[in-house]
Every structure is written in C-alpha cells, then in structure tokens.
Structure 1
Amino acid sequence: MTGKPWMTRMVNATVKHGSGFAQPAGAVVFMYSALEIAMRQIRADDELNGLAAGALTGAIYRSPHGVKASGIGAGAGLALAVVWMLANEDSRRRFSEVLNFA
C-alpha cells in the first residue's frame, strides 16, 4: 500500500491507538520529573539526580510486577536517562565536571 491509502491507514491507527501509548508515557514523564525535583531538594543540583530519577522511575513503574521486573525497569530507566544525558551537550559537560570533582 502506498500513497493516500497508506497515509489514511496510518492516521486512523494513530488516532485509534495513540492513547494507549500517551497515558503510560505521561505517567512515566510525570514520575521522572517529580523524582528529579525531589532529588534536587535532597542533594546538590547535578546530573546524578537525573540518572537516579530515571532508575527510580523505572523501578517504581514496574514494581507491581515483582522484584525482578522492578530491577529490569530500574535498568531500563537508568539506560534511558544515560542516553538522554549523553544526547544533550550541556548535560555531558556538567556530568564530566561532576566526575572530575569525584
């Protein structure tokens, strides 16, 4: 399928199934943001807060499915936070500064 029928099919699928992705994604983003803000209140404002918030978000989000799933979620959250940090030039610079002081 190409052209207009393909585009119509993609638009219909997005509208029909988009909310199934949007709700969990919104919950994860909210948890990550809230945990990162809480971490800033507890300790210094640096990039380690974002990494910890990513790991905690993954662990909390998957916690109803058991300890193993929570650990996998923490690893996935940490991995996504690392990718996000490495993709942002300012975050890379601040993280290298944190490592130089350690």
Structure 2
Amino acid sequence: MWTLTLRGGARVTVVSAEWCDAFDVVTRGRVQLELHDGEPGPVVGRDAGFWLRGTGVRALRNPVRRTARVRGEGRDGGAAAAVGAAGHRGSADGP
C-alpha cells in the first residue's frame, strides 16, 4: 500500500505499466483525471475508488488549493515506485 500526496495544483503523470494493477481511493480532497487527449476528465472526491488500467488516463491532477491524497494498492507497489523514482517521495508539488 502507498499514499500519493498532491498539493494544490499538482499534477502527476500516469505511466500505465506502473499503475496497471493499482486500485486507488481518494482519501482526502479531490482529484481530477486528465484524459489521454489532454482534456480534463471527471473530478473524483473523497472515498471514490478507481482503477486506471485501460482507461487512457494520462495524469492525476489536484484542481483545488487544498492538499489531496490518493491511497493505492497493487501487487507490485503500483505507482509508489514511479513516484519515488521521480524524486517526489510520495508527494507531488504544485506548479
């Protein structure tokens, strides 16, 4: 299990191979799914659960100023490895 913290306005790119087995739940705030073509997708709020496998979502974005958190669980650690490798250590900074 891992937690991704998104500060206000932050955006994290979704690499499908790293998120493919992760089931994600918004535990704080709201998160917007950015669609494959760059268009804004749905905004999901607290307690919303979602899979990213096969959706074409290319990023997760925090559309508001308050910090958002997403908790995920996957067989291989899911996005935690990707976020850690990018140097975010479980969080993403805003613009």
- Alignment TM class, shorter chain as reference: under 0.3
Higher relative CO (Cα under 8 Å, sequence separation at least 6) belongs to 2
Q: With structure 1 as the length reference, what TM-score do the two structures score?
A: 0.25
Q: With structure 2 as the length reference, what TM-score do the two structures score?
A: 0.26
**Where is the strand percentage greater, Structure 1 or Structure 2?**
2
**Where is the helix percentage greater, Structure 1 or Structure 2?**
1
